Amino acid sequence: MMRDFLFTFIFLMGSIFTFAQEVVTGLQINAVVQKKALEVARVKSASLWADTTPINLPFFDDFSANGVFPSPLRWSDRYAFENTDFPVYPVNLGAITLDAINDSGYFYSRAVPGPAGWIADHLTSRFIRLDSIFNPTPHALSPADSVYLSFFYQPQGRGRAPQAKDSLILRFLVKPAHDSITPTDTLKIPDQWKKIWFSKGMSLDTFYLNNNRYFLQVMIPITDSQFFIKKFQFQFINYVSLASSAQPSWQCNSDQWNLDNIYLNVGRNQYDTVRPEIRFIDRPPSLLQRYESMPYPQYCNDPTNEIRDTIDMLISNRDVVPHLSSYNYYVTSTTGTFNKSYSGGNYRIEPFYTDGYVTYQPFAHPPVPFLYPISSADSAVFLMKHVVHDITPGSLLGDTIQAYQKFYNYYAYDDGTAEASYGLTPAGSQLAYRFRLNKSPDTLRAIQMFFNRTLSNQSQQWFYLCVWNDNAGQPGDTIYSDLVMPWYADSINKFVTFHLYRPLAITGTFYVGWIQTTDDNLCVGFDQYNNNQSEIFFNCIGLWENSFQSGSLMIRPVVGKPIPLGMNETTLSRFGIDIYPNPCSGSYLHLRISNPEGLKKIVPTTVTVTNMFGQTLIKTAFTELLNVSGWPGGIYLLTLTDGFGTRLCTSKFILTQ
């Protein structure tokens, strides 16, 4: 069988290695941040973060807006990442994450392998009027006003644990940057900060064992009179250290810290730890039993088994007294032709500090007493909205969250955001991801994958994109294979689409994935918010077994009707190279670019040639005449890249000498 041949051939390539495993690593690029950075640049709103006008007390942010960047109404920089992906059991939905990725979504340029620590993210407040307060009675502030800064923090979350030598630091501004004029020169004096508090790095498991909670609150009294000024400022920074590695494709370290409910005000004390609110803690769950998204015709063929019986909701009352509250959720189609709702009635929600999250069944585990409509349409989108609120007249306590349920032409276990990277080692390792059809047969048209970048893009190594049939609940025979290379689609279209060179008829259960040709980590996006490890199989030593890693791979099979090529795929297919003579028995190859009118601005700058074992034979500036004298006979792969390191095209050639 094709499967046996491929595995035997590639596994022998990796037989010199004595280890075999699946590995989850941190990110080196955040596509969500990158997309937001591009949006900000387009509307020229980055100047908002440069506003130096001091703001008044109170200062509070719970990062529930999920705006990617922290709000410029309260923060003077945008390096940290506002999100719902990394925090585990936050105070309320959303938190701010400090890691090793900058405000453009890329790994910091100062990040280098090695044990030395370096400052990565900053989260810096705007200037704050700590000299005076204006409401209800204007007066000058002093330590007697009992000013406290409080916040909740958490190491790692769903990211990568900061090492013990790493740290999260809070510091206060002592003196802003200024010029110092001397008799001979003008010296630029940078900001001067005083360290106020810090925490050493640790895993979330250790943090929970030490504190018996997932987020720990810190109360900082401000008693030093030097800080009661017109332009008070505080800042969180994190130190990151990267382990050195002989395999650059595995250098994906992003140590995370999560912060929530940052609050600065007067008239507080060490016991002022409660902020009355009734909130949701997690995002709205999918109503689908197995998937975050699936093809609409496949859903319509067996809707009863695809819809959950119940969903799980996390609701908390952060007050010290109970509140009689109601809970409802609503599902509507974007066309307005479908409307369903559920009412959980009223319930007395006890304080979280004594009773934890709500366990009342109609609130915590509401049923799903309806189905999405059955239709002959190819796609559909539905809005899901959840509402909880205190029913006491005049009360403003409550929360609303919403999300979209999408039915397009692909299957997705993931939510579209990577918290980590997934990879296998050694060469010859196989990964298979299980999916199930309700309506058979169907046609597999393409496979979408999301790849995270690594330092110097060392994860761009050839691999076999494969499809398997089912063999008693495990991958069976290989029914499709194609040699391809990772692409980084970034934030414009985070998933890269590999169109199958021939449409593939599939039935029942099928598997998509890869076989590696090298030890290098492919760095496939790994969603750690949704756990579907039971659908992930890997084979490093000749036996298939379930994944040991909790999460979902960002791999999506596209099925159904023929699909048009997207922008990325069109560009790739139109940009080509002619290699001649091919096969070649001489000393020189001629290269001729096929670069049509619409792509004249795309210019190749580098030629790379690898053999079928993934070894690079030559990497040089683009030339139309390539010297291959002395090379052994065999099959080779020639790749053209542009000045940004983006792969333009790849072609095979054969040497017969």
CATH of the domain at 301: 2.60.40
Q: Could you give the percent of the chain with pLDDT greater than 90?
A: 59
The answer to whether the peptide bond before residue 297 is cis (omega within 30 degrees of 0) is no
Quote the pLDDT of residue 254.
Answer: 63
CATH number for the domain including 642? Answer: 2.60.40.3080
Q: Which one, of 45, 21, 279, 238, lies nearest residue 124 by Cα?
A: 238
Task: Supply angle C-alpha 341, 346, 351, rounded to 5.
Answer: 120
For residue 237, being part of any structural domain is answered with: yes
pLDDT surpasses 70 at 113: no
Domain count along the chain: 4
Q: Is 505 helix (H, G, I), strand (E, B) or coil?
A: strand
Place of tokens 């695809």: 306
**Residue 68, by phi and psi: left (phi above 0), alpha (psi -120 to 50) or beta?**
left
Quote the pLDDT of residue 17.
Answer: 37
What's CA 319's distance to the chain center, in Å? 33
- What does the pLDDT look like over 196-240, one tens digit per residue? 999 999 999 999 999 999 999 999 999 999 999 999 999 999 998
DSSP state of 55: B
CATH number for the domain including 166? Answer: 2.60.120.260
For residue 412, being part of any structural domain is answered with: no
Q: What's the burial of 448, exposed, middle or buried (CB within 10 Å: 0-12/13-18/19+)?
A: buried
Query: What is the band of 47 on the pLDDT scale with cuts at 50, 70, 90?
Result: low
Please report the sign of the dihedral spanned by the C-alpha atoms of residue 289, residue 468, residue 491, residue 455.
positive
Quote the pLDDT of residue 594.
Answer: 72
* Pair (184, 52) in one structural domain: yes
* Pair (156, 60) in one structural domain: yes
Q: Which one, of 85, 90, 96, lies nearest residue 61 by Cα?
A: 96
Identify residue 244 by its one-letter amino acid code: S
Which CA distances in Å does 551 have to 49, 236, 548, 603?
Answer: 35, 29, 9, 39
CA dihedral of residues 348, 350, 352, 354 (deg, nearest 10): -160
170, 249 contact by CB (below 8 A): no
DSSP state of 407: E
Quote the pLDDT of residue 492.
Answer: 37
Average pLDDT estimate for 31-37:
56
Q: H or E stretch including 180?
A: strand 178-181
Q: Which of 517, 544, 568 is the last residue of a domain?
A: 568
DSSP state of 320: S
Rounded to an integer, what distance in angstroms lies between the CA atom of residue 454 and that of residue 452?
7
pLDDT surpasses 90 at 278: yes
Q: Which one, of 54, 88, 30, lies nearest residue 260 by Cα?
A: 88
**Residue 428, by phi and psi: left (phi above 0), alpha (psi -120 to 50) or beta?**
left
Rounded to an integer, what distance in angstroms lies between the CA atom of residue 479 and that of residue 375?
32
* Pair (323, 440) in one structural domain: no
Rounded to an integer, what distance in angstroms lies between the CA atom of residue 160 and that of residue 152?
19
Alpha helix stretches (DSSP H) within 510-619: 567-574
Q: H or E stretch including 32?
A: helix 31-43
295, 560 contact by CB (below 8 A): yes
**Residue 152, by phi and psi: left (phi above 0), alpha (psi -120 to 50) or beta?**
beta
Quote the pLDDT of residue 114.
Answer: 65
Weakest-pLDDT range from 25-29, 189-193, 312-316, 368-372: 25-29
Rounded to an integer, what distance in angstroms lies between the CA atom of residue 76 and that of residue 52?
8
CATH number for the domain including 514? Answer: 2.60.120
pTM > 0.85: yes or no = no
* Pair (19, 36) in one structural domain: no
**Residue 149 forms beta bridges with which residues?**
220, 264
Q: Which of 235, 265, 295 is the last residue of a domain?
A: 265
Q: How many CB atoms lie within 10 A of CB 55?
A: 14
For residue 272, being part of any structural domain is answered with: no
* Highest mean pLDDT pick, 169-173, 482-486, 566-570, 597-601: 169-173
Quote the pLDDT of residue 353.
Answer: 92
Quote the pLDDT of residue 519.
Answer: 80
* Pair (427, 396) in one structural domain: no
The answer to whether the peptide bond before residue 562 is cis (omega within 30 degrees of 0) is no
Could you write out the DSSP letters of every residue in 592-644?
Answer: EEE--GGGTT----EEEEEETTS-EEEEEE--SEEE-TTPPSEEEEEEEE-TT
Query: What is the band of 488 on the pLDDT scale with cuts at 50, 70, 90?
Result: low
- What does the pLDDT look like over 136-166, one tens digit per residue? 888 999 999 999 999 999 999 998 899 898 9
Quote the pLDDT of residue 569.
Answer: 43
Task: Supply angle C-alpha 28, 30, 34, rounded to 5.
Answer: 125
Average pLDDT estimate for 241-256:
58
Quote the pLDDT of residue 304.
Answer: 96
Query: What is the band of 42 on the pLDDT scale with cuts at 50, 70, 90?
Result: very low
- What does the pLDDT look like over 590-632, one tens digit per residue? 998 876 544 445 567 889 898 876 678 889 998 899 999 889 8
pLDDT: which is higher, 223 or 13: 223
For residue 159, being part of any structural domain is answered with: yes
Q: Average pLDDT of the chain? A: 85
Average pLDDT estimate for 515-528:
86
607, 638 contact by CB (below 8 A): yes
Q: Is 315 helix (H, G, I), strand (E, B) or coil?
A: strand
* Pair (561, 579) in one structural domain: no
Quote the pLDDT of residue 13.
Answer: 39
- What does the pLDDT look like over 325-342, one tens digit per residue? 999 999 999 888 999 999
Query: What is the band of 264 on the pLDDT scale with cuts at 50, 70, 90?
Result: very high
Quote the pLDDT of residue 188.
Answer: 77
* Pair (446, 555) in one structural domain: yes
Rounded to an integer, what distance in angstroms lies between the CA atom of residue 166 and that of residue 237?
11
**Residue 298, by phi and psi: left (phi above 0), alpha (psi -120 to 50) or beta?**
alpha
* Pair (604, 623) in one structural domain: yes
Joined tokens for residue 544: 């298939």
pLDDT: which is higher, 637 or 86: 86
pLDDT surpasses 60 at 3: no
pLDDT surpasses 80 at 41: no
Quote the pLDDT of residue 179.
Answer: 67
Q: H or E stretch including 188?
A: strand 186-189
Residue 229 CB partners (closer than 8 Å, separation 6+): 130, 131
Average pLDDT estimate for 130-135:
91
Average pLDDT estimate for 479-484:
88
Joined tokens for residue 623: 């030339």
Q: Which one, of 294, 264, 259, 216, lies nearest residue 121 by Cα?
A: 259
Average pLDDT estimate for 404-419:
94
Quote the pLDDT of residue 65.
Answer: 85
For residue 413, being part of any structural domain is answered with: no
Residues belonging to the chain: 657
Task: Supply angle C-alpha 198, 203, 209, rounded to 5.
Answer: 90
Rounded to an integer, what distance in angstroms lies between the CA atom of residue 638 and that of residue 649?
8
- What does the pLDDT look like over 70-91, one tens digit per residue? 999 999 999 999 999 999 999 9
Joined tokens for residue 584: 């070649």
Average pLDDT estimate for 407-423:
92
For residue 630, being part of any structural domain is answered with: yes
Residue 347 CB partners (closer than 8 Å, separation 6+): 324, 325, 326, 327, 358, 360, 362, 363
Q: Which one, of 440, 462, 562, lies nearest residue 509 by Cα?
A: 440
* Pair (220, 259) in one structural domain: yes
For residue 242, being part of any structural domain is answered with: yes
Residue 638 CB partners (closer than 8 Å, separation 6+): 577, 579, 591, 607, 608, 609, 626, 650, 651, 652, 653
Q: Which of 540, 568, 596 is the last residue of a domain?
A: 568
* Pair (10, 54) in one structural domain: no
pLDDT surpasses 50 at 542: yes
111, 88 contact by CB (below 8 A): no
Average pLDDT estimate for 443-459:
76
For residue 446, being part of any structural domain is answered with: yes
Q: Going edge to edge, which strands form the sheet with 576-580? A: 576-580, 588-594, 625-627
pLDDT surpasses 90 at 560: yes
**Residue 386 forms beta bridges with which residues?**
329, 401
* Pair (64, 183) in one structural domain: yes
Place of tokens 């609050």: 263
* Pair (97, 169) in one structural domain: yes
Rounded to an integer, what distance in angstroms lies between the CA atom of residue 451 and that of residue 333?
32
- Residue 492's domain spans which residues? 2-23+418-568
